């Protein structure tokens, strides 16, 4: 079975065609440290490989370099029988640049090339036309006029590919040229669509979405819906996963005698690893919404709107969506950061995401704010003081992230020539639901398979430390408690004793564990729901305002999330950066926490 390599420029409809041809039978190959994905699928005995969209074979970023290297290397394989180049017929000249370069590469490798002239339906609706036969003659390679959206011409394309694969030598191009720009321009001017017809709708919509007033309002509106949906749409699904895990835990361990194995199943497997699985629906919903924005053409406009303010801090316009998503959870936010074109700005975004006040920080903030801040109103009863402190905590995370990003972009990650901010504003198009659902499902699956192993290992280690040496589940006499007492001098400058030390240590697995652990230590059952009891216990234990503020500052900065570290490792391709971030943020959190403690104490 020979493979068909699919290549083309971004927004040419390549991935949609791939999905139409292969359905759900797909595998995705990733490459460490870059966001390059090569998708492989099968249909009717044919194998297809979909390469990332590139504008030309002159790579501008490491991602593009890897994609082109992989394509060139695959071309040399005997398994590859034909190259299928996607051409956006509505943007013929731009598509032909990469098309003609691919033709040269295919000839050098002794492989035939077929051109699929896509989006014929859009051409017709714009009352524009192209001369397919003349283009085929000029290119000296077979061409098929198709619409991946309506599936028009797809059966003919499949027949053509089979024909070419049967006698490939008959279809190896003889008319290749190195002057790709001139030839692309020449073909477009002679046989392409008349300029101005295609852009009419796009210009009208851009007048609204990019206008100074309505552009800002619509941006705010769309982002609010997106942010809300991460919480509201994902919540029922997350509840369902949580309840299912709870049911499974009861079903499995309900009739078991108490002991080590039951504790392992309940606390490590269902409690620890299960709480990680609860985030999967959020990944699914966020990937789906970002896909909607990307397919519709709005994501490029959003990047344009945000680019200037974010560039002051070394970030990109495309950093906005990941940073916003980071307020729900860092893991889907890191998926979202894959759309950032510049590897440097993408890295800075990865570093900024863990500082956003994610939903796992909420239980910690809620407990500490309830314990420290009186429930009174300020500003003439308009604003609650506790709510205002919550706002300050969110703002503090954003503030630290932007300042750190600005410092890093001017020091450690300073570069003279970054990838330029040039983005194509694609036409507004209705989204393709099936490929979107497939992509969201794939990302959810990848989240489980890639980060799951690390999470499970960390969960087991924390469980072992918390359960042994007595093996009776008494946290107070466990290795973890001993460790807490050992490191008590470290927490003493913040006015905290070993009990808080243990809770902080436990919460390096996931921040929200802090509340449950304190509940266990103070003997409060269901501490996550029974805040009042725990708040009373905290106040009775001599917990001071200065220590509380120090803990809040610590939690706002420290990277206490094994899933985020695992995700960062996956995206960056090595452990060096996540470990460096873990320790740097930990030290920064500790130092700023101590400064806050000293400052608040000095006011008393």
Build a one-symbol-per-residue string for 154-183: x at contacts with another protein by CB under 8 A, - elsewhere: ---------------------------x--
* Closest CB to another protein among residues 321, 400: 321
The least distance separating another protein from the CB of residue 56, rounded to whole angstroms, comes to 4
Of the residues 167, 174, 411, 417, which one makes contact with another protein according to CB under 8 A: 417
Of the residues 374, 381, 420, 542, which one makes contact with another protein according to CB under 8 A: 420
Of the candidate spans 38-46, 157-165, 203-211, 559-567, the one that interacts with another protein by CB under 8 A turns out to be 203-211
Of the residues 30, 202, 544, 584, which one makes contact with another protein according to CB under 8 A: 202
Q: Is 243 left (phi over 0), alpha (psi -120 to 50) or beta?
A: alpha
How far, in Å, CA of 440 to CA of 434, rounded?
10
Q: Which two tokens stand for residue 130?
A: 């192209």
Whether 299 contacts 339, CB under 8 Å: yes
DSSP H/E element including 29: strand 26-30
Q: Applying CB under 8 A, does 193 fall inside the site for another protein?
A: yes
Q: Applying CB under 8 A, does 311 fall inside the site for another protein?
A: yes
Residue bearing tokens 């497939």: 438
Of the residues 32, 110, 155, 196, which one makes contact with another protein according to CB under 8 A: 196
Q: Applying CB under 8 A, does 212 fall inside the site for another protein?
A: yes
* Closest CB to another protein among residues 310, 552: 310
Q: Which residues of 307-333 are buried (b: 16+ CB within 10 A; e: fewer)?
A: beebbebbbbbbbbbbbbbbbbbbbbb
Of the residues 31, 55, 456, 479, which one makes contact with another protein according to CB under 8 A: 55
The least distance separating another protein from the CB of residue 16, rounded to whole angstroms, comes to 20
Of the candidate spans 54-62, 164-172, 233-241, 282-290, the one that interacts with another protein by CB under 8 A turns out to be 54-62
Q: Which two tokens stand for residue 98?
A: 């990469």
The least distance separating another protein from the CB of residue 318, rounded to whole angstroms, comes to 11
For residue 68, give Cα distances in angstroms to 71, 86, 211.
5, 16, 37
Q: Which two tokens stand for residue 107?
A: 């000839």
SS3 assignment for 83-102: EEEEEEHHHHHHHHHHHHHH
Q: Applying CB under 8 A, does 314 fall inside the site for another protein?
A: no
* Closest CB to another protein among residues 55, 394: 55
Of the candidate spans 88-96, 506-514, 519-527, 596-604, the one that interacts with another protein by CB under 8 A turns out to be 88-96
Q: To 5 degrees, how large is the angle CA 227–CA 231–CA 237?
A: 135
The least distance separating another protein from the CB of residue 180, rounded to whole angstroms, comes to 9
DSSP 436-462: HHHHHHHHHHHHHHHHHHHHHHHHHHH
How far, in Å, CA of 541 to CA of 537, rounded?
6
The least distance separating another protein from the CB of residue 66, rounded to whole angstroms, comes to 16
Q: Applying CB under 8 A, does 91 fall inside the site for another protein?
A: yes
Q: Applying CB under 8 A, does 300 fall inside the site for another protein?
A: yes
Of the residues 19, 81, 90, 118, which one makes contact with another protein according to CB under 8 A: 90
The least distance separating another protein from the CB of residue 585, rounded to whole angstroms, comes to 30
Q: Which two tokens stand for residue 428?
A: 């507004």
Of the candidate spans 282-290, 415-423, 453-461, 516-524, the one that interacts with another protein by CB under 8 A turns out to be 415-423
Contacts of 533 (CB under 8 A, 6+ apart): 524, 527
Q: Applying CB under 8 A, does 93 fall inside the site for another protein?
A: yes
Q: Applying CB under 8 A, does 198 fall inside the site for another protein?
A: yes
The least distance separating another protein from the CB of residue 187, rounded to whole angstroms, comes to 13
DSSP H/E element including 117: strand 113-118
Q: Applying CB under 8 A, does 56 fall inside the site for another protein?
A: yes
Q: Applying CB under 8 A, does 210 fall inside the site for another protein?
A: yes
DSSP 553-585: HHHHH---BHHHHHHHHHHHSSSHHHHHHHHHH
Q: Which two tokens stand for residue 291?
A: 């896909």
Q: Which two tokens stand for residue 293?
A: 């924005």
How far, in Å, CA of 601 to CA of 591, rounded?
15
The least distance separating another protein from the CB of residue 215, rounded to whole angstroms, comes to 9
Q: To 5 degrees, how large is the angle CA 290–CA 343–CA 450?
A: 60
The least distance separating another protein from the CB of residue 428, rounded to whole angstroms, comes to 11
Q: Applying CB under 8 A, does 199 fall inside the site for another protein?
A: yes
How far, in Å, CA of 46 to CA of 164, rounded?
13
Cα 48 from chain centroid? 26
Binding site for another protein (CB under 8 A): 55-56, 58, 60, 90-91, 93-94, 97, 181, 185, 188, 193, 195-199, 202-203, 206, 210, 212, 300, 303-305, 307-309, 311, 317, 416-417, 419-425
């Amino acid at each position: 079975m020979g493979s068909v390599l699919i290549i083309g420029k971004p927004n040419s409809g390549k991935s949609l065609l791939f999905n139409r041809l292969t359905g759900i039978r797909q595998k995705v190959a990733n490459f460490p440290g870059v966001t390059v994905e090569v998708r492989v699928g099968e249909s009717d005995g044919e194998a297809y490989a979909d390469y990332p969209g590139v504008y030309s074979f002159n790579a501008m970023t490491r991602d593009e370099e890897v994609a082109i290297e992989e394509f060139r290397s695959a071309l040399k394989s005997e398994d590859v029988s034909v190259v299928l180049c996607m051409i956006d017929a509505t943007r013929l000249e731009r598509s032909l640049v990469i098309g003609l370069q691919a033709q040269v590469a295919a000839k050098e490798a002794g492989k035939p090339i077929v051109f699929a002239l896509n989006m014929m339906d859009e051409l017709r609706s714009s009352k524009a036309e192209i001369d397919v036969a003349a283009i085929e003659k000029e290119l000296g390679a077979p061409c098929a006029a198709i619409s991946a959206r309506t599936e028009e011409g797809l059966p003919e394309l499949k027949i053509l590919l089979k024909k070419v694969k049967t006698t490939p030598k008959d279809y190896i191009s003889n008319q290749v040229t190195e002057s790709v720009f001139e030839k692309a321009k020449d073909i477009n001017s002679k046989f392409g669509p008349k300029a101005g017809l295609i852009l009419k709708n796009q210009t009208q919509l851009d007048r609204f979405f990019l206008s100074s007033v309505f552009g800002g309002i619509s941006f705010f509106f769309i982002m609010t819906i997106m942010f809300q949906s991460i919480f509201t749409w994902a919540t029922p699904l997350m509840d369902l996963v949580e309840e299912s895990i709870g049911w499974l835990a009861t079903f499995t361990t309900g009739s078991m005698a108490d002991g080590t194995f039951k504790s392992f199943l309940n606390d490590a497997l269902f409690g620890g690893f299960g709480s990680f699985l609860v985030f999967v629906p959020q990944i699914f919903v966020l990937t789906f919404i970002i896909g909607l924005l990307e397919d519709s053409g709005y994501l490029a406009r959003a990047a344009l709107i945000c680019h200037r303010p974010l560039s002051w801090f070394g970030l990109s316009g495309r950093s906005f969506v990941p940073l916003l998503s980071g307020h729900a959870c860092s893991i889907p936010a890191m998926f979202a950061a894959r759309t950032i074109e510049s590897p440097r700005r993408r890295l800075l975004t990865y570093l900024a995401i863990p500082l956003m006040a994610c939903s796992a920080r909420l239980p910690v903030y809620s407990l500490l704010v309830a314990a420290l801040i009186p429930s009174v109103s300020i500003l003439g009863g308009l604003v609650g003081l506790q709510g205002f402190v919550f706002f300050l905590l969110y703002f503090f995370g954003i503030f630290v992230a932007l300042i750190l990003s600005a410092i890093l972009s001017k020091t450690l990650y300073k570069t003279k020539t970054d990838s330029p901010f040039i983005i194509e504003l694609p036409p507004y198009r209705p989204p393709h639901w099936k490929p979107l659902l497939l992509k969201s499902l794939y990302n959810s699956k990848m989240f489980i398979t890639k980060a799951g192993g690390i999470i499970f290992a960390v969960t087991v280690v924390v469980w072992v430390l918390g359960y042994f040496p007595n093996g009776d589940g008494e946290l107070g006499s466990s290795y973890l408690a001993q460790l807490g007492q050992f490191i008590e001098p470290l927490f003493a400058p913040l006015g905290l004793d070993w009990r808080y030390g243990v809770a902080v240590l436990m919460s390096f697995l996931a921040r929200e564990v802090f509340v449950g652990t304190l509940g266990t230590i103070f003997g409060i059952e269901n501490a996550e729901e029974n805040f009042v009891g725990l708040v009373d216990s905290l106040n009775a234990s001599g917990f001071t305002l200065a220590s509380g503020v120090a803990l809040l500052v610590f939690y706002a900065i420290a990277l206490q999330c094994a899933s985020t570290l695992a995700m960062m490792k996956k995206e960056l391709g090595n452990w060096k950066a996540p470990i460096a971030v873990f320790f740097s943020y930990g030290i920064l959190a500790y130092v700023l926490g101590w400064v806050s403690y000293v400052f608040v104490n000095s006011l008393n």
